[in-house]
């Protein structure tokens, strides 16, 4: 059919657009307020990729590597945020 190339072209354009959006999202510049939003200002660096994470994070938000804990403050916050069931 003659209209098959139209659907193929639309599909390729959609995939290209999606690829550009993913690239832009992963490489966006984070504002300084977002980087130090943890309250204490003691951000945790990921040992695998070097991404800065808030001290309350257990896993890196970039590569999902488990982050090193920072003593009892992280443990207390984790127990206070535990899931409650009825």
Give 35-72 pLDDT, tens digit per residue: 444 445 688 888 888 888 888 888 888 898 888 876 55
**What pLDDT does 36 receive?**
45
Count helices and strands (H / E) in the chain: 3, 2
User: Residue 15: inside a domain, yes or no?
Assistant: no
User: Residue 49: inside a domain, yes or no?
Assistant: yes
Handedness of CA 60, 45, 74, 36 (dihedral sign): negative
Paired sense of beta strands 44-45 and 52-53, if any? antiparallel
User: Residue 8: inside a domain, yes or no?
Assistant: no
User: Residue 82: inside a domain, yes or no?
Assistant: no
pTM score: 0.35
Rg of the chain on CA atoms, in Å? 21
User: Residue 56: inside a domain, yes or no?
Assistant: yes
* Tally of domains within the chain: 1
**What pLDDT does 37 receive?**
46
Q: Which domain holds residue 56?
A: 42-68
**What pLDDT does 9 receive?**
94
Are 57 and 43 in contact by the 8 Å Cβ rule? The answer is no
């Amino acid at each position: 059919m003659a209209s098959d190339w139209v659907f193929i072209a639309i599909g390729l354009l959609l995939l290209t657009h999606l690829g550009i959006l993913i690239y832009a999202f992963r490489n966006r510049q984070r504002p300084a307020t977002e980087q130090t939003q943890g309250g204490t200002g003691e951000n945790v660096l990921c040992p695998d990729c070097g991404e800065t994470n808030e001290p309350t994070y257990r896993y890196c938000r970039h590569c999902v590597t488990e982050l090193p804990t920072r003593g009892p403050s992280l443990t207390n916050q984790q127990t206070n945020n535990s899931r409650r069931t009825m």
